[in-house]
Amino acid sequence: MPLPLLAVQLLWINLVTNSIQDVALAFEGGEPGAIRRKPRRPDEKIFNPLMIRQTLVSGFTMGSIALAFWFFLTDIQQMNEIHARNMVLLLMVFMQNIQVFNCRSETVSAFRVPLSRNWILIVGAMLAQGIHIAAMHIPFMQTLLRLEPITFLEWAEVLILAVPLLIGDETEGVLIYELGRRQLDLLKDGFVFLFQLSEHGSPLLLDLQLQNHDAN
């Protein structure tokens, strides 16, 4: 199978998305209630289990969607490689601009973080997407990056395929929250059981005592 993206296209993704988004994320406002959270351990690594898990989930989702889209365009629709790469590259830029909103908070849903907390990020994402769209219509950039304009239907395909990235991250957060809540419930039940044992003794011992009392 041919490569979905060329080296220059990969460099373009890093240039047009990461460079703008990284700077814009630095202006993200503080989260309400952050002062009430438990402090991080001094020896905690930057790539803690939470960040590693979120990186794996988002990376796997983006890679799977892009590769499946490439396979669909080249093997099923029999689209020429240049136009198929153009579509995949546009999809990757869109997904990067969606993923940046998932990165605004480690613990709060992207739907609950107000947009007004970082207008610079909003402008940055729009700017990054606008630069790529402009490059699709500039002859020099078309030749350099193997870009070309696409149809309205192809735009709709790209937009629809970019949405699952947001849904996937939100689903991962909900599942982790539910698992954590269940673990806390189990831990709470365990503490209650141990407290009852310390107060009243073992239930088996109580049953034996009651049976001896009835026999006497």
Q: Give Cα 13 to chain centroid, integer Å.
A: 18
C-alpha to C-alpha distance for 59 and 120, rounded to whole angstroms: 25
- Residue 80 within any structural domain of the chain: yes
- Residue 190 within any structural domain of the chain: yes
Residues 11 and 71 in one domain: yes
* Confidence at residue 138, expressed as pLDDT on a 0 to 100 scale: 94
- Residue 37 within any structural domain of the chain: no
Helix/strand/coil for 193: helix
Sign of CA dihedral 46, 50, 54, 60: positive
Residues 20 and 99 in one domain: yes
Residues 120 and 203 in one domain: no
pTM: 0.74
- Residue 25 within any structural domain of the chain: yes
Q: Give the domain range for residue 205.
A: 180-215
Residues 159 and 68 in one domain: yes
Count: domains in the chain: 2
Residues 86 and 121 in one domain: yes
Residues 91 and 188 in one domain: no
Tens-of-pLDDT digits for all 216 residues of the chain? Answer: 688 999 999 999 988 888 888 888 888 887 777 777 777 778 877 777 777 877 888 888 889 999 999 999 999 999 999 999 999 999 999 998 888 888 877 777 777 788 888 899 899 989 999 999 999 999 999 999 999 999 999 999 998 998 877 776 666 555 554 444 454 444 444 544 444 545 554 454 445 454 555 555
* Confidence at residue 208, expressed as pLDDT on a 0 to 100 scale: 45
Give the chain's count of helices (H) and strands (E).
8, 0
Residues 208 and 104 in one domain: no
> Residue 189 contacts by C-beta under 8 Å, 6 or more apart in sequence?
none
Residues 147 and 184 in one domain: no
Residues 153 and 77 in one domain: yes
* Confidence at residue 82, expressed as pLDDT on a 0 to 100 scale: 92
- Residue 158 within any structural domain of the chain: yes
- Residue 135 within any structural domain of the chain: yes
Sign of CA dihedral 62, 67, 68, 73: positive
C-alpha to C-alpha distance for 126 and 80, rounded to whole angstroms: 29
Range 85-89, long-range pairs (CB < 8 A, 24+ positions):
85/4, 85/5, 85/6, 85/9, 85/146, 86/136, 86/146, 86/147, 86/148, 86/150, 87/150, 87/154, 87/157, 87/158, 88/4, 88/5, 89/5, 89/9, 89/12, 89/13, 89/145, 89/147
Residues 203 and 157 in one domain: no
Residues 192 and 91 in one domain: no
DSSP state of 46: S
Q: Are 162 and 98 in contact (CB under 8 A)?
A: yes
Residues 151 and 197 in one domain: no
Joined tokens for residue 119: 């207008």
